[in-house]
Structure 1
Amino acid sequence: MLGQLYTFLPKTLEQRVTALLLATAVLVGLVVGMAVNTFNQREQALAMAYEVGHELALYFEASPSQGPFPAPYAGQFIQVVPTPEALKPQEYFDLPLLLQFGEKAVRATLLFDGRPSRADLIEAGYDLSEQSATRLGALAKALARQDLTARLLIPDETASGLGGVVVSAPRVWSERLTEPMVVIFAACALLVIVVGGRMLAHFCAQPFRSLAEHDRANLQPWDTEEAVVLQDKILEQQDARATMLSEQTRMLASISHDLRTPATRLRLRLEQIESAAIRNRMLQDVEEMTQLITASLDFLRFDVRMEEPQQLSLGALLQSLCDDYVDTGHNVTFIAERHARADQAHSIFGGGGEVELAVEGRAVMNGRPTALRRAFTNLIDNALKYGGAATVQLQSHLHDRLKIRVSDPGPGIPAHLHERVFEPFFRNDSNERTRSSSVGLGLSIVQQIVKAHGGVITLGETADGQFCIIVELPREL
Structure 2
Amino acid sequence: MIERFLDRVLPKTLGNRIAVIGFSAGLLASLFAAAGIGGILTRRAEISEAAWLGPTIAAAYERTRRMSTEFRVKRLKELEIANSIHYEWLPQAADFGDNPYTPLPPPYYGGPLISVYSANGPLRKRLLATAHPLPTLEAHLTSLAVSLARHDEPISLQIRYPDGSLLRITSPQYWHSRTTEVTWAMIMLAGMTLTAALFLIFCQRLARPYRLLARVTKDHDADSLPKPRASWTREALDLFGLLSSERIGRKEMVAERTRMLAAISHDLRTPATRLRLRSEKIDDDELREKIHNDLDSMLTMIEDAIDFLKGTIVEEEVQKIDFLSLVQSICDDFADVGMPVTLTDPQYPTVETRSTVFGGEAEALDLKRLLTGNMMARPVALKRAVSNLVGNAIKYGHQAKVDMLVKPGELVLEITDRGPGIPDEEQGNVMKPFYRLEKSRNRETGGSGLGLSIAYTVAQAHHGKLELINLQRGLMVRLTLPRGLELQENQRGH
Q: Same fold (TM over 0.5)?
A: yes
> Alpha carbons of 1:340 and 1:159: their partners in 2 closer, same or farther (altered >3 Å)?
closer
Rounded Cα–Cα distance in structure 2 between residues aligned with 1:346 and 1:465: 42
Q: Aligned pair in 2 of structure 1 residues 224, 400: CA closer, same or farther (>3 Å)? A: farther
Question: 2:85 maps to what in 1?
Answer: 79
1:9 to 6, 11, 24: 6
For these two proteins, the number of residue pairs brought into alignment is: 459
Residue identity in the other structure for 2:126:
D
Q: For 2:60, what is the secondary structure of its paired residue? A: helix
Does residue 234 of structure 2 align to residue 242 of structure 1? no
Residue 402 of structure 2 aligns to a residue whose secondary structure is strand
Unaligned runs of 5+ in 2: 217-223, 488-494
- The answer to whether the aligner puts 1:95 opposite 2:102 as a matched pair is yes
Question: CA 1:256/1:341 → structure 2, altered by over 3 Å: closer, same or farther?
Answer: same
Choose 135-144 or 368-377, whichever is displaced more.
135-144
Alignment of 1:131 with 2:136, yes or no, is yes
Structure 1 residue ranges without an equivalent (≥5): none
* Residue 389 of structure 2 corresponds to residue 372 of structure 1: no
CA contact (8 A) 2:422 2:470 kept: no
| Preserved CA contact (<8 Å) 1:148 1:173 | yes
Residue of structure 1 aligned with 2:116, choices 96, 110, 120: 110
Larger strand fraction of residues: 1
**Distance of aligned partners of 1:155 and 1:7 in 2 relative to their CA distance in 1, 3 Å threshold:** farther
User: What TM-score do you get using the length of structure 2 for normalisation?
Assistant: 0.76
After TM superposition, the structure 1 stretch with the greater mean CA deviation from structure 2, 446-455 or 134-143, is 134-143
Corresponding residue to 2:196 among 194, 197, 206: 194
Amino acid corresponding to residue 85 of structure 2 in structure 1: Q
Give the alignment's TM-score, normalised by structure 1.
0.78
Quote the offset at 1:204 in angstroms: 4.1
2:215 alignment partner, SS class? helix
Q: 1:448 to 1:287 in 2, by over 3 A?
A: same
Are the structure 2 counterparts of residues 270 and 467 from structure 1 closer, same or farther at C-alpha, using a change threshold of 3 Å?
same
Query: Which residue does the alignment assign to 2:212?
Result: 210
Query: Do residues 144 (structure 1) and 149 (structure 2) align?
Result: yes
CA contact (8 A) 2:85 2:171 kept: yes
| Aligned position for 1:255 | 264
Per-residue deviation, residues 435-470 of structure 1 (Å, max 9, x unmatched): 7151111101111111122221111257x9552200
* Residues 444, 473 of structure 1: alpha-carbon distance in 2 compared, 3 angstrom cutoff: same
Shift of the alpha carbon at 1:49?
3.8
Please identify, of 375-384 and 319-328, the stretch whose mean Cα deviation from structure 2 is larger: 319-328
Q: 1:390 aligns with which of 400, 403, 413?
A: 400
Q: Provide the rounded CA distance (Å) in 2 between the counterparts of 1:364 and 1:55.
A: 91
Q: Which residue of 1 aligns with 2:21?
A: 20
In 2, the alpha carbon distance for the partners of 1:127 and 1:301 equals 97
**Residue aligning to 1:358:** 366
Residue equivalent to 1:444: 453
Query: Does structure 2 conserve the Cα–Cα contact (< 8 Å) formed by 1:252 and 1:297?
Result: yes
Using the TM superposition, name which of 263-272 and 383-392 deviates more.
263-272
Cα deviation 1:166-222 (Å, max 9, x = unaligned) = 23261x334344444444443333333333433343344444433433443266666
The within-5 A match list for 1:280-359 is: 289-340=298-349, 357-359=365-367
Larger deviation, residues 269-278 vs 215-224: 269-278
How do 1:147-158 and structure 2 match up within 5 A? 147-154=152-159
Q: 2:220 aligns to what?
A: none
| Counterpart residue number, 1:167 | 170
In the TM superposition, what is the alpha-carbon distance from 1:247 to its structure 2 partner? 1.2
Q: Distance in 2 between matches of 1:199 and 1:144?
A: 42
Determine if contact 2:65/2:162 at 8 Å carries over to the other structure.
no
Q: Is 1:409 the equivalent of 2:418?
A: yes
- Residues 263/212 of structure 1: CA separation in 2 closer, same or farther (3 Å cut): same
Residues of 2 paired with 1:111 and 1:132: CA distance? Answer: 19
Matched, 1:469 2:466: no
**Is the contact between residue 98 and residue 107 of structure 1 (CA under 8 Å) also seen in structure 2?**
yes
> Would the aligned equivalents of 1:50 and 1:134 in 2 still touch at CA under 8 Å?
no
Question: How many Å apart are 1:345 and its aligned residue?
Answer: 8.5
Q: Larger deviation: 275-284 or 386-395?
A: 275-284
Are positions 1:32 and 2:33 aligned together?
yes
Q: Is the 8 A contact 2:437 2:446 kept in 1?
A: no
Native 8 Å contact 1:425 1:439 kept in 2: yes
Over the residues paired in the alignment, what is the CA RMSD in angstroms? 4.4
The answer to whether the 8 A contact 1:336-1:395 is kept is: no
Q: Which amino acid aligns with 2:33?
A: V
- d(CA) in 1 for partners of 2:425 and 2:229? 49
How far apart, in 1, do the equivalents of 2:230 and 2:127 lie? 63
Deviation at 1:396, TM superposition (A): 1.5
